[in-house]
Each structure stands twice: as C-alpha cells, then as structure tokens.
Amino acid sequence: MRHLVVLEAVQPATPPPAELMAGIMALGEEATRAGALIDTAGLAPSLVGAKVTVGAGAGLQVTDGPFAESKEMISYAVYDTRTKEEAVEWTSRFMALHRDLWPGWEGEARVLKVMGPEDF
C-alpha cells in the first residue's frame, strides 16, 4: 500500500549540516533498495504556489501564495509498504536524522495512506 509523507517545517537560519544531508541520502538509498521508497522531492516555498478552493456560493477561488502558515511544506515522499507501520518507521528514521543532526530544526511529517484498489 502506498503512503504519501508530507514534511512541514520551520527552517532554521542555518543551512542543513552536511552530516544531515549525507544521512538523508543514505536513508533514501536504503529505502529504495528495500523497495519501499518510490519518489521524493523538495517543494518550493508557498510564495510560488497557489490554493484552489470551492465554497458554497463562492464558486471557484484561486489564491496565490505565500500562505500565512508558520510552517512550510518543504518536501514529500511516496512509500510502497506492506503496512502503515513500515511507512511510519521510514518516516521516523528520517525525522530522527533531523532531530539528531540539525539543532533548532522543528517540523512534522504526516503519513497519509493513498487509496488503492484494496480500499474499494
């Protein structure tokens, strides 16, 4: 089953340490070799994004970024795992790298199941 992981964070003033980037690359390679990681990428700041909404009586509205949230969605990953717990484990390892190697970094990751044929 596929899971989409969306990472939201407040970026510290310092760039990510080299050790963190090396750890992320190693974890990504391990997850890819295990057949769990399908895709991952960084996301541009909401400044260059848009939000499309539909409201009762308001029709379709398009709002250009930036958005007021204090955290930005900064990356995503798509995992194909047997269980939610496996996707949570890969995500926890990713988050632990940030906790351990980038002081001051704060963020959260949402693990969302992608609906598949097994859900219908």
Transcribe 31-64 into DSSP letters: HHHTT-EEEEEE---GGG-EEEEEETTTEEEEEE
Give the tens place of pLDDT for each residue, 93-117. 999 999 999 988 899 999 999 998 8
pLDDT over threshold 80, residue 11: no
Q: What is the CATH number of the domain that holds 45?
A: 3.30.70.1060
Asked if residue 118 belongs to a domain, the reply is: no
Asked if residue 30 belongs to a domain, the reply is: yes
pTM: 0.86
| Size of the chain, expressed as the number of residues it contains | 120
Asked if residue 119 belongs to a domain, the reply is: no
Query: Where in the sequence is the domain holding 37, given as residue range(s)?
Result: 2-113
Give the tens place of pLDDT for each residue, 62-80. 989 888 777 888 899 999 9
Q: Which pLDDT value is given to residue 51?
A: 87
Question: What's the structural domain count of the chain?
Answer: 1
Give dist(CA 49, CA 112) in Å, integer.
21
**Token match 């969605």: residue?**
73
Q: Which pLDDT value is given to residue 14?
A: 86
Asked if residue 40 belongs to a domain, the reply is: yes
